[in-house]
Every structure is written in C-alpha cells, then in structure tokens.
Structure 1
Amino acid sequence: MWHTPDCPQYIIMRINWKEGARRVREQEEWAQGVFPAAHERLKMAAAEMPPGTAAQPFIDALTELVQAQAGTTGFVVLHRWAEILERHFPPELPDPDHAAD
C-alpha cells in the first residue's frame, strides 16, 4: 500500500513507529542499569541457600542462566538454554532392573 507524505494514516503510522522505538530504548536503558545489581542480589541469595535442598537444581540453573544472559548483549540462544537445563536436569536413565524385553 502506498501513502502520500501527508496521508493521515501514514502520519499516524510514523508517530507509532517513533513512539515504539523510544519505548524500546527507554526499556533497554533501564534494564542495563538495573540488571547488574539484580544479578548480584540473585548470586548473594543463591549463595545463602543451604546446599542439598530439593530447590538446589533450580537455584543453580537460574543462576547459570542469568550469568549466561549477563555475558551477552542480546538473548541467550536456545542451544545454550538446553545445555544449561540438561546439566541441571539430566534425563533419567532407564533402570536396568526394570527394562522391558
């Protein structure tokens, strides 16, 4: 669809694009300012948890995922998520005493 420069629909569309881009920049700036301190609080809270609890794999996985995010300027890619989750939640191996014939 073509619009002339003075088309009201096109003007509204451009205003929405600029407003959306501004909001994304503001959110990114806010997140970059907040993330390091929140990451530190997470690490301190994880360190205070007693080892060996049922929550330990969740704590370790979350801490590692957040650390992976801290090491990138974009998103943690799916294969990295899978590596971390496989490490902390490995698939159960079959029990050789209960194997089906």
Structure 2
Amino acid sequence: MWHTPDCPQWAVMQIGWEAGSRCIKEQDAWAKDVFPAACERLKQAAAAVPSGTPAQPFVDALTELVQAQADTTGFVVLHRWVEILGRHFLPQLPDPNHTTE
C-alpha cells in the first residue's frame, strides 16, 4: 500500500509508531533501573530457602538464570538456558546395574 506524504492514514501510522517506540524506551529505562534491586531481593529470598529441600534445584536455576540476564545487555540465549538448566536438572541416565534379558 502506498501513501502520499499528506495522507491522514499515513500520519496516524507514524504517530502510532513513534508512540510505541517511546513507550518501549520508557519501559526499558524503567526495567534497567529496577532490575538490580529485584535481583538482590531474589538472591536474599534464595538464600533463605533451606538447602536440601526439593525446591533447591528450582531456586538455584532461577537465581543463575536471573544472574545470566543481569550479565547481558539483551536476552539470555537458548544455549545458555540449556547449560544452566542442565547443571541443576541432570538428565536421567540409564542404570548400569540394571540389565534386561
């Protein structure tokens, strides 16, 4: 679809794009400002969880994932998720003492 420079529909679309861009920039600035404090609260809550509980692997994985996010300027990429989750949730390996005949 083509629009002339004086097309009202084109002007409305540009206004929408600019407003959306401004909103995203504001959200990003807000998140960068509050993220460190939220990370600290998570670490404090994780430290309060008694070790050895069934929730421990979940707490450790979440804490490490949040730290990985804090260490990057973008998103934690999928292979980092797999590495982190693999450390806390080991795959079920076959039992070498169990044989079937």
Please tell me the TM-score bracket, short chain as reference: over 0.9
What's the CA shift for 1:2?
Answer: 1.6
- Aligned alpha-carbon RMSD (Å): 1.1
What per-residue deviation string (whole Å, max 9, x for no partner) do you get for residues 21-80 of structure 1? 011011001101110000000001111111000000000000000000000110000100
TM-score by length of 2: 0.94
Distance 1:10 1:38 in 2: 41
Distance 1:99 1:25 in 2: 59
Aligned length, in residue pairs: 101
Which residue of the partner structure matches residue 32 of structure 1? 32
What's the CA shift for 1:15?
Answer: 0.6
What per-residue deviation string (whole Å, max 9, x for no partner) do you get for residues 61-100 of structure 1? 0000000000011000010001001111111001234444
Q: How does 1:11-90 map to 2 (within 5 A)?
A: 11-90=11-90
TM-score by length of 1: 0.94
**What 5-or-longer segments of structure 1 have no aligned partner?**
none
**What 5-or-longer segments of structure 2 have no aligned partner?**
none
